[in-house]
A = this chain, B = another copy of it.
Amino acid sequence: MAAYSPPLDDFAFLLHDVLDVTASPVPGYADLDRDTTAAILAEAGRISRDVLAPLNAVGDREGCRLENGVVRTPTGFREAFAILRDGGWPGLDCDPDYGGQGMPYVLHTAAGEMQSAANMSFAMYSGLTHGAYSAIHAHGTPEQKALYLPRLVSCAWTGTMNLTEPHAGTDVGLLRTHAEPQADASLRITGQKIFISAGDHDLAENVVHLVLARTPGAPSGTRGISLFIVPKFLPNPDGSLGARNAVSVGKLEAKMGIHGNATCVMDYDGATGWMLGPENGGLKAMFTMMNEARVQVGVQGLAQAAGACQLAAAYARERRQGRAIPPADPGAPADPIVVHPDVRRLLLDQRSFVEGGRAFALWVATLIDAHARTGDEDALALVSLLTPVLKGFLTDKGFDSCVQAQQVFGGHGYIEETGVSQFVRDARIAMIYEGANGIQALDLVARKLGMDGGKPIMAFFALVRAFLKENDADSGLKSDFLDPLKSASKDLQSAAEFFVQNLKTPDAALAGATDFLHLFGHVCLGLMWARMAKAALARDDAFAKAKLATGRYYMARALPATALHLARIRSGAAPLMALPADAF
């Protein structure tokens, strides 16, 4: 199997040629000069390549084991986690007051892509910890912050998020886990949570569960849910570990992929917990973690596609079958399969998605930084709008992209030893967790589209229009990039208008929600490709030429999908709702 190769040139191009980070007024960005970002990402890439990637197949093959109530991670995970921790990587963008390095989130995102591409199951342990850090940072009391944050930042302790119960997944308002107040301000948590990623393991000395539950007399539905901190070991005020809490692993799930991550049934049997944030405000507090997780999961989708695409490209350059007309290598018995148009189609579908998706993810990360570091509410509104698109589009297309990588391998792709099947199996979960992609689409059309009178989507369209106008005279961009972007953006506007005109039929928007999300995703990647093309045209090297060729492919072959999505949206709700429920 080809070794993982960190996309350092691409990160440099995106951060500097495209996003021009040092020119940004966002605090901390001025320090992100080319040398600094290159040094940080090279080291993150080295660890991903040399430490994490070699354990990816190991994790898949061995999986996790539940032994005497404790989860054992696959061979090598403990040592690798120690290396990650020693390098301070989990706290790269965390608050320096709690031991973090205070770097912008955009670097954390780039490093996260590499870790996830190298070993998704492994990267989830620190990824979920980061989410727990953010939730406690935003909603914790000073004491909670002092106790938990330094240990989560360093990954001495790790975090989890506990929402789902057997009968309450998407519909979290149905959850039944309850919390009984105690005299000492703690509560006793009782209930069962399922699908808890990184729910238990041997990588860290403590696991901090953030658990949604109801207090006595709480309103029904989502308005009666509170969030609790429930550690595996009860910490003493000095952070040393006390008694084992009454939370245990009921079962490890056998899954299609991410075998290296422990997906647990967690049983809370009067476990001691402390409320995080206000009573009945638990869902809002959890959404601090959830929104961040959704961006991370979008990056996971992209990362799996990136890793699989590397394998496929390497295989296509080496594997010799058939002939180009005329032969590319007449002296050999056959040409490398990269000469064949249909193999190139598979590779370019993947690559144009990966590079466009990477640009999209980093751009959204700069918006997250802008809000976090300057309080820019417009940036936050755009992030809110784009989060479901990023999560849904990058994971749907990321999975498709892994499937295409597998196809390049032919029969060898179906055999586990080539490694590409694992990318397909691992990538599949990203379309499901942190809100299945149908829920992302619902969030987008039912909440985000009309948010604040539609201001965020108007702001997005204004960005596209401004770019088109600003570069209208650029003949290198015009027909290959600007015209297709304009047409795709018009499709997006027509779709949004269709929803507005059909407000009285809520099903019309819901019926078109997934198509709208994909339409939006294509326009985002189209905008990214147009911006990248502009930056590439300012250079004259092989990297820039390849970038332009890849971008032209995306605009010519992928972006026309917007018209199909619009056609489907306009077909309305009737084709979906005609069949009575019992006829399914």
- Give A13 Cβ to nearest chain B Cβ, in Å: 15
Please measure, in the bound complex, the distance between the C-alpha atom of A550 and the C-alpha atom of B575, giving whole angstroms.
8
Other-chain contact of A432, B414, B579, B583 (Cβ < 8 Å): B414
- Is A578 among interface residues, defined by CB-CB distance under 8 A? yes
Residues from chain B with Cβ under 8 Å of A579 in the complex: 344, 348, 546, 549-550
B432 touches A410 (CB 8 A): yes
Please measure, in the bound complex, the distance between the C-alpha atom of A342 and the C-alpha atom of B514, giving whole angstroms.
7
B506 touches A325 (CB 8 A): yes
Other-chain contact of A321, B174, B403, B511 (Cβ < 8 Å): B174
Of the candidate stretches A140-148, A149-157, A435-443, the one touching chain B is A435-443
Within 8 A of B (CB), among A410-450: 410-417, 421, 424-425, 428-429, 431-433, 436-438, 441-442
Please measure, in the bound complex, the distance between the C-alpha atom of A263 and the C-alpha atom of B353, giving whole angstroms.
33
Residues from chain B with Cβ under 8 Å of A254 in the complex: 415-417
Per-residue B-contact encoding for A309-345, CB less than 8 Å = 1, 0 else: 0000100110011100100100001101011111111
A438 touches B342 (CB 8 A): yes
- Is A233 among interface residues, defined by CB-CB distance under 8 A? no
Per-residue B-contact encoding for A544-584, CB less than 8 Å = 1, 0 else: 01100110110011001101100110010101111101111
- Is A384 among interface residues, defined by CB-CB distance under 8 A? no
Other-chain contact of A347, B171, B428, B556, B584 (Cβ < 8 Å): B584
Other-chain contact of A414, B171, B429, B557 (Cβ < 8 Å): B429
- Is A243 among interface residues, defined by CB-CB distance under 8 A? no
- Tally of A interface residues using CB under 8 Å: 94
Please measure, in the bound complex, the distance between the C-alpha atom of A170 and the C-alpha atom of B552, giving whole angstroms.
30
A345 touches B546 (CB 8 A): no
Question: How many copies of this chain?
Answer: 2
Please measure, in the bound complex, the distance between the C-alpha atom of A339 and the C-alpha atom of B510, giving whole angstroms.
11
Known: A170-B321, A336-B581. A411 touches B432 (CB 8 A): yes
- Is A507 among interface residues, defined by CB-CB distance under 8 A? yes
Other-chain contact of A568, B438, B511, B546, B560 (Cβ < 8 Å): B560
Known: A415-B254, A415-B255, A416-B254. A344 touches B582 (CB 8 A): no
B425 touches A322 (CB 8 A): no
Residues from chain B with Cβ under 8 Å of A256 in the complex: 414-416, 421, 424-425
- Is A31 among interface residues, defined by CB-CB distance under 8 A? no
B170 touches A581 (CB 8 A): no
A583 touches B546 (CB 8 A): yes
A317 touches B433 (CB 8 A): no
Residues from chain B with Cβ under 8 Å of A428 in the complex: 403, 406, 414, 424
Please measure, in the bound complex, the distance between the C-alpha atom of A567 and the C-alpha atom of B487, giving whole angstroms.
14
B344 touches A577 (CB 8 A): yes
Please measure, in the bound complex, the distance between the C-alpha atom of A510 and the C-alpha atom of B425, giving whole angstroms.
30
Other-chain contact of A253, B415, B546, B575 (Cβ < 8 Å): B415
Known: A416-B254, A557-B568. A345 touches B169 (CB 8 A): no
A169 touches B410 (CB 8 A): yes
- Is A98 among interface residues, defined by CB-CB distance under 8 A? no
- Contacts A/B (CB < 8 Å), 11 sampled: A256-B425, A317-B581, A317-B582, A341-B507, A342-B510, A342-B511, A342-B513, A344-B577, A407-B431, A411-B436, A564-B564
Query: Which 10 A-B residue pairs are closest in the complex by CB-CB distance?
Result: A171-B321, A341-B510, A342-B438, A549-B578, A556-B571, A256-B421, A560-B567, A341-B511, A553-B575, A344-B576
With A255-B416, A411-B436, A549-B575 given, name 19 new contacts (CB 8 A): A164-B411, A167-B320, A169-B321, A170-B322, A171-B320, A171-B321, A171-B322, A255-B415, A256-B414, A256-B415, A338-B584, A341-B513, A341-B573, A342-B514, A345-B511, A406-B428, A542-B583, A549-B579, A563-B567
